Homo-oligomer: A and B are copies of this chain.
């Protein structure tokens, strides 16, 4: 078995954590219980790219329990939990695997990869082979942010063109690595990616960002296979984004800084689902939260929820904590850094690290970057003022804490499993396009998580269902219902 992880000896600790997490992921465990025998994913070869955490480990092993072959990389160079990666490679007790004889799933991920390593490992998730050792590639993708989907599409594009652009065609350091990997592959096999693409039945995508890329591709006609947008399942966007961040935002701040949040002024940039969860997180600790927003509807929601809503410029000199949640770029820039108070804390829980202008920060004359501990830096200005930046501007809940907790990820990941099964088993129903899961599956995901919380669900009588014009067993709401 090929794999590449930091330290396989961490597997024992990882297995204990996986065991604990399974109890907190009732949706995934119910998937195993329902489909463990029928194995609807038998024959599926899933190439996955998603933060290699304990929760992802439970997802991977659920996919395997449903019959799939899986290969996995991370979608983020810092977020891997090395004990999780090791444990997945070793495999569950039922696999008979051990540190000396791993029998689990091939994983290619460790905490702190370089960008070059990242793209080298991303390429490897496509290396499924048949029993004879011939490369056959995956037939399903599971993606977070769209990196492996992009790699495959770019590979096909360059093979069609017969050439990969030179690395000096771009200023983007990361894209140089993509070009390097694809140039190497073109040299080895000029139809490598095209062959793979022909086998792919579909991709299931986890995030807003990846979904936007998919819609763009679909609009321009370049999407090669159907996609399910998992991000916009209610049980993903309204739970993972909101309640996950409510949990993990303060967890990241606490582990990173140990600073008291109570009594402080915290600015949350953006009041979408992530912003709503973040604001609640900070308020729950006694911070006074100020919101910035561009959308008047979200701004009015923030005001009605009792938050002050200001432009960043108006409060940058007095606030103590700054958190970006926007999915946009250049939210906090050099001019803001210059005006912040000594020991202001800056972090991002939105998506990309460009929400905060880290490059601009580094270029401020005389500034010194000093590591306090991993993922926590003080940037010391010439006059001695320090700004604390978490996770170098990347997602602080992953870099400074352990990401979202298992229970909320169980919602997102049960959507992933259902989406994989849907695309893999109902190929004919999904021509090339971007889909969301049907409402009844979204409701089913929620239903699977109620018992664990002691929730009693009320059942409609037939008369009540008729009165509302819905089936007794749901779905209950129109597709545009906002929850």
Contacts and interface: CB of A to CB of B under 8 A. Distances in A.
Interface of A: 13, 16-17, 20, 23-24, 54, 212, 216, 232, 234-235, 237-239, 243, 246-247, 250-251, 254-255, 257-265, 273, 280-281, 283-288, 292-312, 314, 318, 327-330, 342-343, 370, 372-373, 378, 388, 401-402, 404-408, 411, 442-444, 446-447, 449-450, 453-461, 463-464, 467-469, 474, 476-477, 479-480, 482-483
A149 to B, nearest CB: 18
Nearest to A54: B258
B247 A401 contact: no
A368 to B, nearest CB: 13
Contact of A299 (B13, B212, B305, B457): B457
A354 to B, nearest CB: 9
A326 to B, nearest CB: 9
Contacts of A285: 246-247, 281, 284
Nearest to A327: B468
A446 B299 contact: yes
A16 to B, nearest CB: 5
Contacts of A444: 296
Given A239-B304, A296-B447, A406-B258, A310 B467 contact: no
B482 A300 contact: no
A41 B224 CA distance: 51
Nearest to A310: B456
Contacts of A302: 455
A98 B482 CA distance: 46
Contact of A405 (B17, B259, B298): B259
Nearest to A235: B297
A446 B297 contact: yes
Nearest to A255: B255
Contacts of A314: 456
B239 A260 contact: no
A56 to B, nearest CB: 13
26 contacts: A237-B482, A239-B304, A247-B262, A250-B250, A259-B406, A262-B304, A262-B407, A262-B408, A263-B300, A263-B306, A273-B482, A283-B284, A284-B284, A286-B306, A294-B459, A296-B446, A297-B442, A297-B477, A298-B483, A299-B457, A302-B455, A303-B453, A309-B453, A309-B457, A311-B456, A330-B464
Contact of A450 (B239, B257, B300): B300
A414 to B, nearest CB: 12
A294 B471 CA distance: 12
B260 A406 contact: yes
A404 B254 CA distance: 11
B458 A235 contact: no
A302 B483 CA distance: 11
B482 A20 contact: no
A463 B328 CA distance: 10
Given A300-B446, A304-B243, A307-B288, A263 B460 contact: no
A205 to B, nearest CB: 16
Contact of A294 (B330, B449, B457): B457
The 4 closest A-B pairs by CB, nearest first: A284-B284, A260-B405, A296-B446, A260-B407
A294 B465 CA distance: 10
B450 A329 contact: no
A442 B298 CA distance: 11
Contact of A243 (B243, B262, B477): B262
A254 B454 CA distance: 22
B212 A300 contact: no
A296 B443 contact: yes
Nearest to A388: B20
Which of A285, A292, A304 has most chain B Cβ within 10 Å?
A304
Given A308-B288, A464-B330, A480-B232, A469 B299 contact: no
